[in-house]
Structure 1
Amino acid sequence: MPKHHHDCHSHDNILMPNAYPILDIIKYTDNEWNFRVAKNFETKLGQFVEVSLPMVGEAPISVSDCGDNYIDLLIRNVGKVTQQLFQLKIGDNIWMRGVHGNGYPIESYHDNHLIIIAGGTGVAPVKGLIRHFVEAPEKIKGMDMILGFKNQDAVLYRDEMPQWRQCQHLITTLDQGEANDEFEVGVVTEHIDKLDLSDLANTQAIVVGPPIMIKFAVQALLQQGLTKQQIWVDYERRMACAVGKCGHCRMGEKYVCIDGPVFRFDEAEYLID
């Protein structure tokens, strides 16, 4: 196909998806697999793409990590599109459009102490951010992470965790199950008192997960003395069409897909359900 013919479509029409081959599939749990897909567009951590299959439909998926020529998408098998994706193999094509939304403003975390609190599949949108600062620890003063999962069978990124633990302060917790060397027990907010909050003025916090978890984690951080300007929330579960057309993600005056999904909390306070 002549180059100009393809390019004019792929760049001009944000509603037009293109086909990209699957490079690798990692099965973290029965229902949550990481699809590494080829890409030829710029991506920032915290943005998302619309993944689609012809004749089936589309689903918005957060960018969990990315490299120069690939994108990692943690996909949960919960609906007709994702069910079909789970039938695909390495080398098969999936269709993507995007990338959409605002990602994490990584530079504004530099020279700060970073706190990341994430629950369940909410760990996926911060996975690349964690990797970034584990590989470049000199850019921040330190990083505390509280990552919560339902139980042992729901844990994501288990293989990466020893490296995260070695470099930075990682607390992993299970809603159900027994405590052991690796895991505490209890919801994420029960472990906020273990965070390093010794330098409040130079601390930034990121919270991702189900809306109820975001609500309580933010409340707890505010009680610890952080300001609303120091807290970032990711409403990635709100995504639908990605271009502000369907209204599914509208919260107050904002369309999460265009204005978010990553918000500073002082701008997102009134969006909480």
Structure 2
Amino acid sequence: MRIISQPADLPVRESASRGLVPTMGYLHEGHLELIRRAAAENEEVAVSIFVNPLQFGPGEDYRTYPRDLERDARLAESAGASWIFHPSPEVMYPPGFATTVHVGGPLTERWEGERRPGHFDGVATVVTKLFNLVRPDRAYFGEKDFQQLQVVRRFTADLNLGVEIVPVPIVREPDGLARSSRNVYLTAEERPRATVLYRALLAVREAARRGASPAEAVEAGEKVLASVPEFVPDYLAVVHPGTLEPLSSWVPGARAIVAGRFPTVRLIDNMEVWDR
């Protein structure tokens, strides 16, 4: 597996189609599903592995975020990647770097944007740079980071970047926990209890199907979250699938989103709860 660290060494475009899977590494089955989807739809698949310092706020886990490039290269190749782009922070943000991409408005003001100031500026900046460097036709993003997916769609359209954004459904463990690189932080005691996010989302969906309003469905999910006292929720809400605004009545594709923290790790998840 070819690993490229310098932009000047990125392959000249020779294939009819190029897909990009942007990641921060420590690949799991969710990432591999993105790579497989990209390989099925493109002649060439680039995987970026870059732990982006601009996405991390003070006190977050930038320095301890799990990293294992050799392992990631094996997994990416097995899933169909053509090559890996693995730049250093100094390459992506050289001395004098002074430009960032900001997505304003309600899409970034709530939820993760409120709790992680500057996070989406970091996402938008690094993804824009990756698009400009790799020049993909399509880029693949998991629906687990649902707000991020909508932010990427927004700035890609607003800036006329010419990249098709392809969403890929969440990949879950057999017990429902959404796959995440940060799951490795969970202790043995926390791991089975971490399914509380998934169970809360199921409770929201089931309440909706029984005829509950969005507010009543959220209450059903909050009762599930309260059953695990060591989990401290940041939010549980039913939102519009495009704008992420809270809903007072159901719309097609309505999404339940949840986030919160165990003592060792912060987790997020989401689920479509209204498909009528």
Give the structure-1-normalised TM-score.
Answer: 0.34
- Taking structure 2 as the reference length, the TM-score comes to 0.34
Higher strand share: 1
